[in-house]
Structures are given as structure tokens and as C-alpha cells.
Structure 1
């Protein structure tokens, strides 16, 4: 496994990872009518071909030995949200294809993101995770992230929203959030 900068050429592969990880990872939270809606895949592809490569956002991809994208992270300056604070880094999206869950690749990418955010001058970072996502929450907690107690509703599709919680991590000298 390796890590490299994601480019527009990776948009389709990133979208595929995003789609597969949502369908497996959120099956217990989101109805099939959302995960398999006619517009679900086109919306995910549009996200990655349009705004995820904005100038303030960074994308890193985890690739296998054949350079196939198996995971990705999007990160950059914190978006104003629940508190309206700024000046922190934020992990906007962090997904891996279900075929590689549990193989250790995610640990390398979360460390990489911490190093990059620290290199960009941030000394702390936040992320948002679905409240009912014990696998992801346990992963983040194993890697030094902690819930802040702040919650918000994440608008998933049409009028469906689900609760998500904010996590925080100092960016340590070791580069690991």
C-alpha cells in the first residue's frame, strides 16, 4: 500500500470507493432507498469531479500495489459549522473500499493527514462522523481523536438527515492526530 496526492484523474476511482463504503458502512443507518437511489451514484461522481478538488482542499489517496485507489482522505482548513470557529484543520472525508477494511491501510492515511495538516500550520483538527458508526468512531479514537460533545444533523438526501458528532485531535509533533 502507498499514499499519494489525489488528482482529478482519480475522481472516478475515489467516487467508486465513496459509493462502496457508504453502501456497506452505512447500511445499518441509511435506507436502501437512499443508498441505491437512481441519483446516488451520479451525485457521488459529481461531488468528486466538481468541488472536492477546490484550491483549499487537499485529497490524498491510498493505493494498492497496482496503483488502484482503495481509500482516500479529503482535508484542509476547518469549515465553519456548529461553532463557527476557524483556524483549525479538518478531515472532511475519510473512506476506504470495504474490501480492504481491517488491513491497516487506513492507519497510514490518517497519520499522513495529520502530518500534512501540521505542515500547513494547524495545531489541531476536527472531523465529523455519524453518531451511529461504531466502527469509524472506534478507529478514530484508537488514533487519538476524541468526541467534543458537539452534535449536528447531516443532511443525507432529500429530507433525510442523521446525527453526526464532532471529534477533535491535537496535531502532535509525531504528526499523528
Structure 2
């Protein structure tokens, strides 16, 4: 019998697991083209204990974890209102499917004409290919639909082919390009988008 994976809202008990998954997934996804020390510094900034606890507190309805019977937290995902230029709490740069992320920006759902944004969707590399990212994305999309959103945008680093294909496979084609500051560098970014 295979261990079960439960998708559920994150709690404060999940903070260390989220941090562990983030560190492993970032290095697996970006380690080929970003300096390890720069990645670690970025992770320390985005995934410090206080910051993750704050995200759990304010985004409990859409910060979800994949809880594996044997391994604990093996993935997490979150989404919500699209951050505006004046939002200063956007923590991460690119939401990368089984292996990428973006910041958890709180906000109300007052402007539902604006698409929601997938802030994070990361899975520990030991569990890539097990459809954990698929399940996380589906559950976050369900939560966003329940909040009244109709469309989803997903910023992804352009070099993250695995994540980009993941989103295309889930019905979110590439719709825009740009750049983002990430781990001390300016990198190309693409946006995938589509209806929830």
C-alpha cells in the first residue's frame, strides 16, 4: 500500500516542512543557472520562520500543504488577489509548478475582475512525478473559484521548462513576458494564464 498524501490548509506546525520543501525545490529547479549562495540568501529572506508563520496566519484559506503519511509536508501552494504595484509584501518571484514559487500577497477580493495569481506551487523533488503538484494546483484553483475569481495568472521563470510545461498541460498557456529580480539577478519571466 502506498502512503497517502492529504491536501489541507497549512498550520503553524507546517512551517518547518514548508521551509524544507522550499529549500529543496528551489535548488533542484534553479540550481543549474543560479548561484547556490544567492539562492540560499533569497530563501532566508522569503522563508524565514516569521514570514512563513505570517503567511499561514493571513492566507490560511489558500495556503495549502501536501501532507504525506510517511514524509510529512512534501509540497505547498497558495494563491489570491493579483498583487498591485504598491503591494510591498510580494515575497517571491515565480510560481513554478512542481518546483517553483511566488510570494503570498494578502489582500481582499474586492476587485474580482482582476485575475487571481498563483503565488506558490512547490513540491519536494523526491516527490516530483507523483501528481502532488497537480493536486495542489487543483485545490488552490477550487479555493480561488470559491472566492469568486474566474481567471488565474501564473508568473514563471522563463528557464524553468518543467514548470512551464506543467502549467501548459493544465490549461494555462503562455500569455506574456517580462523580467523579474530573483536571487540577485534580473531574469526573464513568462506569465501563463487562463480561466479557473
TM-score, structure 2 length as denominator?
0.75
Task: State the distance in 2 between where 1:102 and 1:93 align.
Answer: 18
The question of 1:154 aligning with 2:180 is answered yes
The question of 1:32 aligning with 2:58 is answered no
The question of 1:49 aligning with 2:53 is answered yes
Gaps of 5+ in 1: 172-177
Gaps of 5+ in 2: 86-111
Question: What's the C-alpha RMSD, in Å, of the aligned pairs?
Answer: 2.2
Note closer, same or farther for the CA distance 1:14–1:5 as it changes in structure 2 (3 Å cut): same
2:76 pairs with one of 62, 72, 75: 72
The question of 1:163 aligning with 2:188 is answered yes
1:40 shift after superposition: 4.5
Task: State the distance in 2 between where 1:5 and 1:51 align.
Answer: 11
Give the secondary-structure state (helix, strand or coil) at the position aligned to 1:153.
Answer: strand
Give the secondary-structure state (helix, strand or coil) at the position aligned to 2:47.
Answer: helix
1:162 shift after superposition: 1.1
Note closer, same or farther for the CA distance 1:86–1:80 as it changes in structure 2 (3 Å cut): farther
The question of 1:96 aligning with 2:100 is answered no
Partner of 1:145: 172
Task: State the distance in 2 between where 1:86 and 1:155 align.
Answer: 27
- Aligned pairs, number: 164
Note closer, same or farther for the CA distance 1:13–1:55 as it changes in structure 2 (3 Å cut): closer
Task: State the distance in 2 between where 1:80 and 1:162 align.
Answer: 20
Partner of 1:2: 6
Task: State the distance in 1 between where 2:59 and 2:131 align.
Answer: 29
Give the secondary-structure state (helix, strand or coil) at the position aligned to 2:83.
Answer: coil
